[in-house]
Structure 1
Amino acid sequence: MSAMAASPTATGPAPSAGTAGPDAAERRRFRRAAGRFPTGVTVVTATADGQPHGTTVNAFSTASMDPLMILVALGNDSRLREHALHSGSFAVTVLAAHQEADARHFADPARPPGAAGFAGRPWRTAGHARSPVLTEGVAAFDCSLAAAFPAGDHTVLLGRVERFDVLSDGPPLLFADSRLLPGP
Structure 2
Amino acid sequence: MPVDPAAFATALAQHAAGVCLLTVRDDIDDVGTTVSSVMSVSASPPLVAVGLAAEGYPAEVLEEVGTGALTVLAAEHAIVASRFASAGRPSARHLLEQVPWTRAPGSGAIVLSAGLAALDCRLERLVEAGDHVLALLAVEDVPVLNPGARPLLRLRGRFVDEAGGAAGRG
**How does the TM-score come out when normalised to structure 2?**
0.89
Residue among 139, 149, 158 paired with 1:161: 139
Give 2:167's aligned residue.
none
CA RMSD of aligned residues (A): 1.5
CA gap 1:29/1:43 in 2 versus in 1, 3 angstroms: same
Whether the 8 Å CA contact 1:40–1:174 is kept in 2: the answer is yes
1:132 equivalent among 98, 110, 128 = 110
- Asked whether the 8 Å contact 2:99–2:112 carries over to 1, the reply is yes
SS, match of residue 64 in structure 1? strand
- 1:150 Cα deviation from its structure 2 partner: 0.3
Partner of residue 53, structure 2: 75
Alignment of 1:1-184 (within 5 A): 12=1, 26-164=4-142, 165-184=144-163
Give the greater-gyration-radius structure (CA).
Answer: 1
Q: Deviations over 1:131-184 (max 9, x none)?
A: 000112111011001111000111100000000131341221011111111025
The runs of 4+ residues in structure 1 deviating greater than 4 Å are none
Quickly say closer, same or farther: Cα 1:114–1:56, change in 2 above 3 A. Answer: closer
List alignment gaps of at least 5 residues for structure 2.
164-170
Count of paired positions: 162
Structure 2 distance, partners of 1:141, 1:161, is 6
Identical residues among aligned pairs (%): 31
Q: Which moved more, 1:165-174 or 1:99-108?
A: 165-174
